Chain A
Amino acid sequence: MATAELTLQSLEGDVHPDWCPGCGDFGVLKSLKEAILELGIPPHKVLVVSGIGCSSNLPGFIHAYGVHSLHGRALPVATGAALANHDLHVVAVGGDGDGFGIGMGHFIHAMRRNLNLTYIVMDNEIYGLTTGQASPTTTEGHKTKSTPRGNVEKPVQPLALALASGATYVARGFSGEQKHLTKLVAGAIAHKGFSLIDVFSPCVTFNKVNTYPWFKERVYKLEDEAYDSTDLMAALQKSFEFGKRLPIGLLYQTQKPTYEDTEPALSKGPLVEQPVGLDPKTLAALLAETT
């Protein structure tokens, strides 16, 4: 199986996606598969970890190892797996409610660590699986089932948070620009360090505001402008641009030592390959400390 030729088809999971026809998440799934193909990574070296939500069903739709974990906990599960076996390409995926609502604490702290993992958020500005309540990225004034008089809370700015928290690859994609997204995903997986891609991934069923046309009208590609993605302050400024114009593309990238690089316990290779137990000499030394 390892020798079989890698194709888009061979990366299909055991089940067909149960997303609504037209869901933005299809584009993200396709981009992830294309990126894996492009990078030539054998699928068994990929672990896709998700939380709970429509988009978190993704691991079942791709031929790679996967954990479809708890709501909000994709990043800590992914972190544990990445630390236990840093030979794996760990990709965490999920929605905006999963990552920026119930999982917000993990989002910030995972980025501080600059772990070598990729986090793709399918951001549709709504809770879809629970049929349409306001999410952390729902825009102000948006009327949802839980905000019938319009949302009064400021939406979270994931890119600004990422930049402030130490992520070393920060990008935004749009599933309506799928080929463009593939490049971002491939760049993220290839990047050594924590990579975040916040993807505008429209919910065609429960979000009647942030629709494909709505995004299409507003998005523009950073690479089409004179933009320097190595300048943190410029990136921060860009990260707040959320209105008539919505930037997509690579906002910021830098190279820093990863958590795995600096963790002494990993200097002898992946934890999962290391011997277990205690030798008599070490035990004697440990006990000698106590007498």
Chain B
Amino acid sequence: MATEITVGMAGAAGDGLDRTGDTLARTAARLGLHLFTYNSYQSLIRGGHTWLRLRLSEEKVDNHGDHLNVLVALNQDGIERHAREVEAGGAIIFNGSKLHCDPSLVPEGVALVALPVTEITAKLGKLPPVMQNTAALGALLHLMGFDVEVAAEILSETFKKKGQEVIDQNVGVLRAGHEYAAAHAQPLGQRWKFSRKRRPVVTGNQMIALGAVAGGCKFYSAYPMSPASFILHWLAAHSEQCGVLVKQAEDELAVVNLAIGAGHAGVRAMCATSGGGFALMTEAIGMAGMIETPVVVVNVQRGGPSTGIPTKTEQGDLNQAFGASQGDYPRVIVAVKDALDCFHATVEAFNLAETFQLPVILISDLLLGEHRSTVDPEAIPSKVPIERGEWVTELAPEASLNGGYKRYALTPSGVSPRARPGRAGMIYVSGTDDHDEKGILISDEHTNPAIRRKMHEKRMRKMDGVRARLKPPVLEGPAAAEVTLIGWGSTWSVIQEAADQLTRSGLKTNQLHFKYIHPFHGAEAKAILKGCKRTIVVENNFTGQFARHLRAESGFSVDHVLTRYDGEPFEPAYIVRRVKDFVAGKPADLRVEDHEAREMAYHYIRIHLQERARPARLQRANGGKYGEPVWEVELVNRADGRAEGTLVIGMDTGSMYGLQLPGVETGARAVAAQR
């Protein structure tokens, strides 16, 4: 087993947690480790609760795993929420000058490192509060057995523009934290083999942007929308360096039409958005299909429907991708699986779009788009295949005799060589009405069913060419498995890890992953799945959109659909538990779990008690209004631990029955609201 460790950092938005996490990630990456970071943040600029996990490993990791070895708590809330999750052998680091840790929250075998930040940094002068993070980082490096010099080097680079004084202060605080921990705490005992190979730490969004540039994208348009905005930010920041024109537009209607206009004029064009923006783009995506203009449209999915859960992940836009636009038209839908795949799939998307003159929809999601992982630099080449498709630059004499250039020539492949507007001799008009070979409309006054049929067939024929190019799915993992897990998009890694865990526990499990959603390898999928014993689709949505697609395209119905739709990504252990339940014939238990009751309590505390309380003990009881069992969540005051009341939450419905304040029997909620 590869040595690995998972660090959780908890704080409020605005606590500088991102910067600290970034320094740690880059330290690990420079030491030659792999990593994956997962940030469950909220849509708040300041405040709220932010929970960043970094999984650092000697081997490639593409999900945040199941463990928590070290908690770095930047505020009291962070300690209270996460202390109990730390595993034995681990540690909790916090600023002892400011925060306290109730011993009842600390699991056995977990070390407490209460850094006296004020004291150990006294000689460094007056420090901004976020410097406590750097002290904690220093202590963390000692506990993990990391070289403090690597982090010092990164901090020096980070603050280079701010001058030597700021560098000295930051590095000084880092060393102070490190020295204090070295004097007061034992390292956790990981035996690392540091290869010191420097690896880029990237997000999926970044890799889509980089893949676009490498793949010859010259035009990018966007409207700000989480979680796709970073593609805009990255490309805007590197526009001149990479020779890409980046245009923010007034809405997604404009965005996609800009890209199509640019594509029509002859450059490689891309736009990206999330589900809501994609919904606005759909009519134009159909136009791209009709006028045969290449365009790459990226949908970085977030939780829907409507505004949904803007900062949480989901794979809920598959139906929308299929449903995009009216009528039938050729298009390709590709789902990316990890950061490296984001690079290569984007390159491929452009090649497919231009070779076949159609829209390509690239589906990513928040988890993959925003979270960081390491990639091997040699896996990212500067020279990638750029296939611009068939073009006409000069008109052959026989073409002139034949009535001139035919933009939509009816060809066996369905692909009609393009001409670039601006070139002499090939003037044509592209119409969104259906048209003949020259582009002349056959719609309104002189509708022509025969030409319509052949033109429609020509367009759709392009899909045969696309299908022939795409690699069909293959089973990964042991043959003759008891269980086959089926997934698409960003779940590839977590499913792979869950399958390994299941196999090790005695239940042989493999994976069938789908990258190409449309055109779909229906026959190939069926041939594989017919030979599988128990088939389970795993996907991050409510209805099992992919399972339905698989059934529609292959005629194969899977045995179970393992879904998750709370906004959180899958963890390997979560999949393992649910798979074992399926195998045991155990029905899904949708009751509110204890950690969920605690999570709900935080919400109601924020609404009714202005953050002054925290959930303490939980117990089950009977007597909910709907005849259901309930969770009684005891609330205690954060400062002095005195009772603040009890929250009653229905276990089946999740209904908040009320907040019983100390000494008040009924009407508790009304009273609470008055306080």
Contact = CB atoms under 8 A, between A and B. Distances in A.
Contacts of A72: 253
Contacts of B263: 80, 84
Given A43-B427, A276-B216, A88 B421 contact: yes
B109 to A, nearest CB: 35
Interface string A1-16: 1100000000001110
A72 B254 CA distance: 10
B440 interface: yes
B427 A279 contact: no
Interface in A245-267: 263-266
A265 to B, nearest CB: 4
A280 B432 contact: no
A83 B425 CA distance: 23
Given A77-B264, A266-B245, A68 B432 contact: yes
Interface stretch (A56-64, A204-212, A214-222): A56-64
Nearest to B245: A265
A232 interface: no
A290 B210 CA distance: 12
Contacts of A13: 429
Contacts of A83: 219, 245, 247, 258, 261-262
A78 interface: yes
Contacts of A48: 429
Contacts of A268: 243
B199 interface: yes
A60 B200 CA distance: 52
B243 A265 contact: yes
A65 B428 contact: yes
A264 B283 CA distance: 31
A283 B284 contact: no
Given A83-B219, A85-B421, A70 B432 contact: yes
B130 to A, nearest CB: 23
A140 B618 CA distance: 66
B257 A1 contact: no
Contacts, number: 218
A243 interface: no
Interface stretch (B379-387, B524-532, B601-609): B379-387
A191 interface: no
Nearest to A108: B250
Given A60-B431, A109-B250, A278-B213, A286 B238 contact: yes
Interface residues of A, number: 65
Contacts of B247: 83
A69 interface: yes
A87 B422 contact: yes
A76 to B, nearest CB: 4
B60 interface: no
Contact of B261 (A59, A67, A276): A67
B260 interface: yes
A49 interface: yes
A291 B30 contact: yes
B249 interface: yes
A18 interface: yes
Contacts of B427: 43-44, 63-65
Contact of A45 (B254, B422, B429): B422
A88 B421 CA distance: 8
B240 A277 contact: no
B216 A277 contact: yes
A78 B265 CA distance: 10
B254 A106 contact: yes
A59 B429 contact: yes
Contacts of A189: none
A290 B339 CA distance: 13
B135 interface: no
A70 B254 contact: no
B307 interface: no
A81 interface: yes
B268 A279 contact: no
Interface in A62-108: 63-70, 72-73, 75-85, 87-88, 105-106, 108
Nearest to A44: B424
Contact of B257 (A52, A64, A77, A265): A77
B240 A264 contact: yes
B214 interface: yes
B243 A66 contact: no
A287 B377 contact: yes
B619 interface: no
B421 A47 contact: yes
Contact of A65 (B29, B198, B421): B421
A63 B428 CA distance: 8
B260 A77 contact: yes
A39 interface: no
Contacts of A81: 261-262, 264-265, 421
A79 B251 contact: no
Contact of B214 (A64, A73, A283): A283
Which residue, of A48, A65, A78, A85, has the highest number of chain B Cβ atoms within 10 A? A65
A106 B261 contact: no
A42 interface: yes
A45 B423 CA distance: 7
Given A68-B429, A85-B265, A282-B242, A291 B215 contact: no
B440 A14 contact: yes
Given A66-B429, A80-B265, A272 B245 contact: no
Contact of A70 (B200, B283, B386): B283
Contacts of B199: 291
A60 B446 CA distance: 14
B441 interface: yes
B251 A105 contact: yes
Given A15-B440, A291-B198, A49 B261 contact: yes
Contacts of B573: none
B628 to A, nearest CB: 49
A91 to B, nearest CB: 12
Given A272-B266, A283-B214, A109 B29 contact: no
Contacts of B202: 290
Contacts of B250: 105-106, 108-109
Contacts of B380: 283, 287
Contacts of B76: none
A76 B254 contact: yes
Contacts of A85: 265-267, 420-422
A64 B259 CA distance: 21
A103 to B, nearest CB: 9
Contacts of A84: 218-219, 245, 261-267, 269
B58 to A, nearest CB: 18
Given A60-B440, A277-B214, A69 B257 contact: yes
Contacts of A47: 265, 421-422
Interface in B174-219: 198-202, 206, 210, 213-219
Contact of A88 (B265, B426, B429): B265
B291 interface: yes
B438 interface: yes
A109 B218 contact: no
Contacts of A1: 424-425
B264 A106 contact: no
A271 B245 contact: yes
Given A80-B260, A84-B265, A286 B253 contact: no
Interface string B259-281: 11111111111000000000000
A287 B239 contact: no
19 contacts: A59-B431, A65-B428, A67-B261, A67-B429, A70-B432, A76-B254, A77-B257, A77-B258, A79-B261, A83-B219, A85-B267, A106-B250, A106-B253, A263-B245, A268-B243, A278-B242, A280-B382, A286-B241, A291-B199
6 tightest CB-CB pairs across the interface, nearest first?
Answer: A80-B261, A276-B216, A76-B257, A66-B429, A84-B265, A77-B261
Interface of B: 26, 29-30, 198-202, 206, 210, 213-219, 221, 238-247, 249-251, 253-255, 257-269, 283-284, 287, 291, 377, 380, 382-384, 386, 420-433, 438, 440-441, 444-445
